Amino acid sequence: MRFDWLIYVGALGLMLAVIFALAPSADAPAPAPMSEFQEELAEELGPLLPDPSPLDELVLVQVGEPQNGVGTAFAVNSSGDWLTARHVVEGCAKVTLMVAPGNYVPVANIMVDEDHDLALLSTGRSPFPVSLALQGPLRVGSEGFAVGFPQGEPGELATRLVARSRLVTRGRRSAEAPILAWAEIGRTEGLRGTIGGISGGPMFDATGAVRGVIVAESPRRGRIYTTAPQSVEAFLTKLGVPLESGPADKFELSGYGAPSDNARRRLQVVKVTCEVIP
């Protein structure tokens, strides 16, 4: 009996070896070589973004009195929860979201982050949320695509991640918070000067996932600043906001207008209006 058992095991092992040898993966071709564009991109990507440091660049923002204005927000679920920058809606007597030309939805509730430039707007419904990527490493040189309503009109910018910075807020309120610095490398044709109005908008990565909220710009240096992903995650977790992943288009440096338009068309990204009543 023991001898028969050994013969059975040996035969079974031989059969398995033949099956795996004939499997499609056994004769799979070698991975295709990277294109010139992929090789160039790989060379441009730097090391992993380091942890926050006391030596990080300081970005000073002076917060003045509330004024009528516009900004950008994006949906994080289909229950009517939208993220934006705190300074976009702070001090506003009336906040609305534009869902179609001339059609505005009132914001029923606003929750602000006391430590970061973040705010959550609630309207009761949002058609399609974005996909959030708030965890995972970031590399210096990674592509980022800022989408929103610069100067109150649809527009977008292409950027690359430069470094960590620290946002220092002074004026009506004082705060310090970690942020990410992105260098502008392209923008919507015809868009000149300041990109005010894009604040509160999402910074998409190449996969179409959101990595942060746009909170500041430095036109002189060609920099755009976003919240750190960890800050957004902590804010949403604290409020117990349910997150959903919606449609996501890939972004490319050769053409990022179409996916930006898609995000606005789906109402994943919308214009915010602030009205200050004396």
- DSSP for 103-167, written as a single string: EEEE--EEEE-SSSS-EEEE-S--S---EE--SS--BTT-EEEEEE-GGGS-EEEEEEEEEEEEE
Cβ count near 270 (within 10 Å):
30
Q: Is pLDDT above 80 for 217?
A: yes
Q: Kindly state the tokens that stand for 118.
A: 């973040």
CATH fold group of domain 57-275? Thrombin, subunit H (2.40.10)
Which whole number is the average pLDDT over 146-154?
97
Q: Is the pLDDT of residue 11 over 60?
A: no
pLDDT for 14 beyond 70:
no
Q: What pLDDT, on the 0 to 100 scale, is given for residue 35?
A: 38
For the stretch 17-72, pLDDT in tens is 333 333 333 333 333 343 343 344 444 678 999 888 888 999 988 887 778 899 99
Query: pTM to 2 decimals?
Result: 0.82
Q: For residue 126, what are the CA distances in angstroms to 75, 102, 130, 218?
A: 6, 18, 11, 32
SS3 174: coil
User: Tokens 């977790």, residue?
Assistant: 237
Two tokens at 76? 């994080």
**How does 122-148 read in b/e, with b if 16+ C-beta sit within 10 Å?**
bbeebebbbbbbbeeebebbbbbbbbb
Phi-psi region of 152 (alpha: psi -120 to 50; beta: other; left: phi over 0): left
Residue range 221-248, pLDDT digits in tens? 899 999 999 999 999 999 999 999 999 9
Residues 245 and 90: beta-carbon distance below 8 Å:
no
- Distance separating alpha carbons of residues 210 and 238, to the nearest angstrom: 19
What is the pLDDT averaged over residues 141-167? 97
Tokens of 269: 């990204």
How does 184-217 read in b/e, with b if 16+ C-beta sit within 10 Å? beebbeebeeebebbbbbbbbbeebbbbbbbbbb
Q: What is the Cα–Cα distance from 16 to 196, expressed in whole angstroms?
A: 65
